[in-house]
Structure 1
């Protein structure tokens, strides 16, 4: 069993809110990531999308490209159309030697809309889940045949947000549809990460670790804040600085012999939460708890 620790650049420069770290040079981000000891990084908005440019750039810092978020539209187009649309993203990942294709349905998502509250998440009916799941499975089968793990990212403000959504998603998709288990989005969406790991071990193919500030989230939700406003207010943080028990999470991953990337991904305002300082805390927390759990 092999575990590798990676990080998302979102704490340094937020793609959904360019005003958060938008002026931070990519080279500065990569230098921090290298010096902190991360083995890999997920794709960010500042990264070149040409492997001929990106490969030598990351190699110069000794960092692998883990994979990267892909925004899907399977609620409004069929699997063949989606497979055609994702080709540039897939080809970049393959050229970079990445192992994970992170997919999220965003055709009706509201997480990027500051005028829509956290309570405004779209919902699917039973019939919609069947069609959505069938299309998702076809895309995942294709990605798997290309040699990558397909890892669906449940996310606040999207159709797979809460426990009922996730259960319907799993029931209506085949085994090729893995999950990006995001501990922070799970917690705030009412999903128990430990139950997901224990009950659906074959689906957990990629892990994002962020911590949560429960009181901040409660205030944001009660006050009608949007997802992005919640981010700015600090509802997310890194492992070791919030309310989640990462000792339990690492033990649960050990129990299923999880092998793959564990990625720190905690979007915050970099002016209020220095990305390097917080990433260092998150990495130390995860390494320490993984070691205690025997997860290596």
Structure 2
């Protein structure tokens, strides 16, 4: 199986551009390259350089391409739509200049769902009117992406209002299949009680992009049992290097072969940037796992 692989700044703890605990972006790009990856994601706008020429130069210095950007915003809050669309446009301009392909669209982690992550049966769901407004925001930002030839992919994410299977199915039904595609994250699937292989096969015609992430089963069990906040769970090590958790990558390999998936896969391991995470070593371990289990 031939896979196109990248890693992402979130594996170094980059969730917010202005977090004072963030490692230097120069270090992150260098270590992604050192770990053996050939591409990266943009991360939050403003973390990597926003000058297209400077960004291009720094990516080239590290022998990296740019594959995707992210809209990680409160999509369920319609009063923020105008700002979200402006953010999308600015990100698309930067992505287009680097020949990137995807925009990963994620509703922001927020209360009350942040401590209901993994609470499949009891987690609060959005009322219909607010859900419809979220679908409108996703549609409008996706139209912006289309203007820049960027493919918008909805990313179901723990601690958000698009997390569980019923919400994924509803979003895929409500969003135009010719406009909005799907990014399946294997770790967030397991967090939400979803079999990522089954989800990928079900929506194979819309799965344009995949995140490989693994999850520590013991930490996840404790997280769900005790209603642990999503970000605290990250600090507790709920995500781990590929092959060291409970994601069934053997089944996943079979599914990707079955549907003849030829798109990009980005390896991620969300961590707390204020802690010593050994991100470079973990990224190497995950790539080693892929080479041993997917490239044979």
Would you call these one fold, judging by a TM-score over 0.5? yes
2:104 counterpart of 1:102? yes
RMSD across aligned C-alpha pairs, in angstroms?
2.8
TM (norm. structure 1) is 0.86
3-state SS in 1 of match to 2:286: helix
On the 8 A contact 2:77/2:130 being kept in 1, the answer is no
Structure-2 residue corresponding to 1:38: 37
Distance change in 2, residues 1:215/1:18 (3 Å): farther
3-state SS in 1 of match to 2:260: coil
Structure-2 residue corresponding to 1:243: 246
2:280 counterpart of 1:276? yes
Structure-2 residue corresponding to 1:5: 5
Q: Once the two structures are superposed, what CA deviation does each residue of 1:151-184 show, in whole Å capped at 9, x if it has no partner?
A: 1111111111111111111111111211111000
Deviation at 1:290, TM superposition (A): 2.3
Deviation at 1:231, TM superposition (A): 0.6
Q: Structure 2: any 5+ residue segments left out of the alignment?
A: none
Distance change in 2, residues 1:20/1:192 (3 Å): farther
Distance change in 2, residues 1:130/1:12 (3 Å): closer
Q: Once the two structures are superposed, what CA deviation does each residue of 1:23-71 show, in whole Å capped at 9, x if it has no partner?
A: x332222222112220101123531122122110111111011112113
Deviation at 1:138, TM superposition (A): 4.5
On the 8 A contact 2:76/2:131 being kept in 1, the answer is no
Deviation at 1:2, TM superposition (A): 6.2
TM (norm. structure 2) is 0.86
**Alpha-carbon separation, structure 1, partners of 2:160 and 2:79:** 19
Deviation at 1:223, TM superposition (A): 2.2
3-state SS in 2 of match to 1:66: strand
Structure-1 residue corresponding to 2:71: 70
Q: Structure 1: any 5+ residue segments left out of the alignment?
A: none
**Alpha-carbon separation, structure 2, partners of 1:257 and 1:152:** 21
Q: Structure 1 stretches (4+) deviating beyond 6 angstroms?
A: 17-20
Deviation at 1:240, TM superposition (A): 1.2
**Alpha-carbon separation, structure 2, partners of 1:138 and 1:227:** 28
2:288 counterpart of 1:289? no
Structure-2 residue corresponding to 1:169: 171
Alignment counterpart, residue 87 of structure 1, candidates 86, 89, 100: 89
**Alpha-carbon separation, structure 1, partners of 2:134 and 2:196:** 23
2:264 counterpart of 1:261? yes
Structure-1 residue corresponding to 2:27: 28
**Alpha-carbon separation, structure 2, partners of 1:10 and 1:85:** 19
Distance change in 2, residues 1:15/1:111 (3 Å): farther
Deviation at 1:122, TM superposition (A): 4.8
